Amino acid sequence: MDTPQHLPPPSPSVRPPSLAIRPPSPAVRPPSLASTSPVNGDLRRTFLLPGEMAFVREPSMLSTLLGSCVAVAVFDPLRKWGGLNHFMVPNANGTRLAPGKCGDQAIAQLLNLARLAGSDLARCKARIYGGGAVVGALGSGAGDIGQRNIEQAYVSLEAAKIQVAGEDTGGSRGRKLDFDTGNGAIRCSLIEASAASQRRDDLARRKIRVLVVDDSATVRRVLVAAIAGDPRLEVVGEAEDAFQAREQILAEDPDVLCLDVIMPRLDGLAFLRKIMQFKPIPTVIVSTVAKTGSDLEGKLLAAGAVAVIDKESLAIHQGLSAARAVLLPILHRAASTIVQPLAPT
């Protein structure tokens, strides 16, 4: 549930003339390019991208989206001024990132802006947000980057003798942040996990279940042996035609289908179209006839196949090394793919 969070109430004072201050750094957009729009009359909204920051002396709404990144909100409760940053990594060690994207420098810059605006840093309060273990669009780097960003925020604020009044950090989801600098209220909303991230989380806790469908017993043995070499994959069934495959799908509920094209009774393309209408499953085509750039390859991809592999590239008669090198990464990618139902034709 979204819950507004308030810093300690400020003492009554007369608000000084409005003034927005941003650091003279290429990491921060100039005012003419800032993503600013009116909110509720005179209140202005500024949306911050990674590496950007703002400190304002007028009532404003400072907003951002966070994954593994961290934002530090600074509020002057006496003057009712506030600022926000958004950094990606703890520090610049080994990187060429702009200062605003590195926590130690971004926090120092934000505090300097507060000081230049006329705030007494001794009375300013800070809150820390973000630092989730997030993958995908809101993630930014190694698996523990979020936790290290959080730790850097505490280290920098402690060194500057800034009181941390609260935090909303960690976890595995992103956050949407809205900071009303006129009263210090901060609304932090968790971003719902996407279907793809939920699927990745599910697969991370167990093996990926693969069903192998090919009319050749020899090819099936090779594919099964290649897949068995990966500890994160398991073959839950084999089928020599589409009708056996249908029964195996209902019985085993595989995560990925490894499917041939040339099969008796019903070919792989026709079967793919049927399952994509009624029970979409990430499918990797392994075939000798669906060559790269061919019309058939295009039809298979249009029908919902995640990838099409030429069997010749697997070199299945020369051992398992080549087959594993080509097949296994594609099966992993397919397993985390969300496939959409195919419209009936």
CA torsion sign for 280, 284, 289, 294 is positive
pLDDT tens, residue by residue, 273-321: 999 888 889 999 999 999 988 889 999 999 999 999 999 898 877 878 8
Instruction: Count other Cβ atoms within 10 Å, centred on residue 253.
Output: 12
CA 206 to chain centre: 21
Q: Quick check: 105 and 95 in contact, CB under 8 A?
A: no
Q: What's the confidence (pLDDT) of residue 279?
A: 84
**Residue indicated by tokens 């099964």:** 224
- Residue 82 three-state SS: strand
Long-range contacts of 274-280 (CB under 8 A, 24+ apart): 274/242, 275/246, 275/249, 276/303, 276/304, 276/339, 276/341, 276/342, 277/341, 277/342, 277/343, 277/344, 278/341, 279/249, 280/304, 280/339, 280/340, 280/341, 280/342
Q: What's the confidence (pLDDT) of residue 195?
A: 64
In angstroms and rounded to an integer, the radius of gyration of the C-alpha atoms of the chain is 27
Give the whole-angstrom CA distance, residue 64 versus residue 71. 8
Question: What tokens does 4 get?
Answer: 């507004």
Q: What's the confidence (pLDDT) of residue 227?
A: 95
CA 76 to chain centre: 33
Q: What's the confidence (pLDDT) of residue 199?
A: 72
Strand ranges, E, within 161-290: 163-169, 175-180, 186-190, 208-213, 233-239, 256-259, 283-287
> Which of 95, 166, 104 minimizes the C-alpha distance to 129?
166
Q: What's the confidence (pLDDT) of residue 193?
A: 64
Q: Quick check: 174 and 134 in contact, CB under 8 A?
A: yes
CA atoms within 13 A of residue 215's CA, in its CB half-sphere: 13
Domain 197-335 in the same topology as domain 3-193 = no
Instruction: Count other Cβ atoms within 10 Å, centred on residue 261.
Output: 24
Give the whole-angstrom CA distance, residue 28 versus residue 110. 11
pLDDT tens, residue by residue, 93-122: 876 789 999 999 999 999 999 999 999 999
Q: For the domain covering 197-335, report its CATH number.
A: 3.40.50.2300
Q: Quick check: 246 and 213 in contact, CB under 8 A?
A: no
Q: What's the confidence (pLDDT) of residue 97?
A: 82
Which ranges of the chain have pLDDT less than 50? 1-40, 136-143
> Which of 197, 167, 196, 180 minimizes the C-alpha distance to 42?
180
pLDDT tens, residue by residue, 167-189: 999 987 889 999 999 999 999 99
**How do the domains of the chain map onto residue ranges?**
3-193, 197-335
Say which CATH class 3-193 falls into.
alpha beta
Q: What's the confidence (pLDDT) of residue 213?
A: 97
